[in-house]
Amino acid sequence: MHINRPRRLRRTPALRRMVCETVLSVDDLIAPLFVVAGSDIVRPIRSMPGHAQLSVDQLDPEINEIAELRIPAVLLFGIPGHKDPIGSSGWDPEGPVPQAIRAIRRLAPQLTIIADVCVCEYTSHGHCGILADTPGSGDVLNDPTLEILARCAVAYADAGADIVAPSAMMDGQVAAIRAALDAAGHTQVAILSYAAKFASAFYGPFREAAESTPAFGDRRAYQMDPANGREALREVELDVAEGADMIMVKPAGAYLDIISTVRQRYHLPLAAYQVSGEYAMIKAAAQLGWLDERRAALESLIAIRRAGADMIITYFAKDAARWIVPALRGDSQGRVKVEDGR
């Protein structure tokens, strides 16, 4: 009697690579960067070891390293020198993100530049749009916020961004930004929509990095309830209908089911954001000797790819690029089947 024994195909590293179902590539990675107003600034982020706020004049070493590792794209967040209730520094052509876009375009023209479109880093109250007059309510006015998101997107496109990524979770933001981009002549600038962005506890370190913690209240009135999966699909459907070129699920690790379902239902390129808390947890546990950082990080990234993401925004981007070099087993494009050798 023949007995199928799957372990036969796990016996050696070569066999495991031959039957590997999920491939992680350098091409799948997007590196986030925090750009701060000012000069001569390299400010380490305490809760995100290995990352720092950088002024534009300090970007060169970081961009050169990203380019040398063949990571194809960066995602930019700005920390301004001035904040106000409407986040006007967000569309300042001399703000940190437009300046960074122009600098990166000169230094590494092959990189794809993605600019996050939100104003939580730019508003004095830390919310993602214009607030209602009710003191301390945290009630963001949807339609007035669309106007300022569109202004930010156009400013980033004017500076040379390839992709704008609206993350404020305002209803109609994709349509408003597409209309504004087209009216400004930026018909070729793509929109990567944070279509399903959950109100997550895993954003904590990011809020330190981007200096965007709300001064009062929270963002649960506009970011999604972690309990709701069907609602996430409605959000994605709306953004696709409004003209998103790519869609995103954020965070990634706790929402692999959402990534998988979105992948099955939609055929647009799908990004997943492995957020700051996911990165910080692995880093902290590794520093305490509780787990192997390389294996844990790669396993988490493979899981996101297996769920169906085409692109992964991750703070492990540079480390992962070093770990999955073509020498492990791959083609000239740096595409490898990850083998941990254990």
Distance, in Å, from the CA atom of 162 to the CA atom of 111, rounded to the nearest integer, reads: 9
What is the tally of helices (H) and strands (E) in the chain? 11, 12
Please say if 250 is a catalytic residue: yes
Reading the block at residue 302, the tokens are 């493979």
Distance, in Å, from the CA atom of 65 to the CA atom of 51, rounded to the nearest integer, reads: 13
β partners of residue 224? 198
CB neighbour class for 140 (10 Å; exposed up to 12, middle 13-18, buried from 19): buried
Q: Choose, from 250, 283, 318, 337, the residue flagged as catalytic.
A: 250
203, 178 Cβ separation under 8 angstroms? no
Distance, in Å, from the CA atom of 313 to the CA atom of 331, rounded to the nearest integer, reads: 23
Give how far Cα 174 sits from Cα of 8, 192, 281, Å.
50, 9, 32
Please say if 283 is a catalytic residue: no
Sign of torsion, CA 219 244 264 270?
negative
Distance, in Å, from the CA atom of 7 to the CA atom of 26, rounded to the nearest integer, reads: 29
DSSP H helical ranges for 119-269: 142-159, 173-183, 204-209, 230-242, 256-265
Q: Choose, from 197, 283, 318, 337, the residue flagged as catalytic.
A: 197
**For residue 164, how many other CB atoms are within 10 A of its CB?**
29
Q: Which of 133, 217, 140, 198 is nearest to 171 (CA)?
A: 140
Reading the block at residue 189, the tokens are 């600038």
Distance, in Å, from the CA atom of 100 to the CA atom of 175, rounded to the nearest integer, reads: 26
**For residue 144, how many other CB atoms are within 10 A of its CB?**
14
Q: Which residues are catalytic?
A: 197, 250
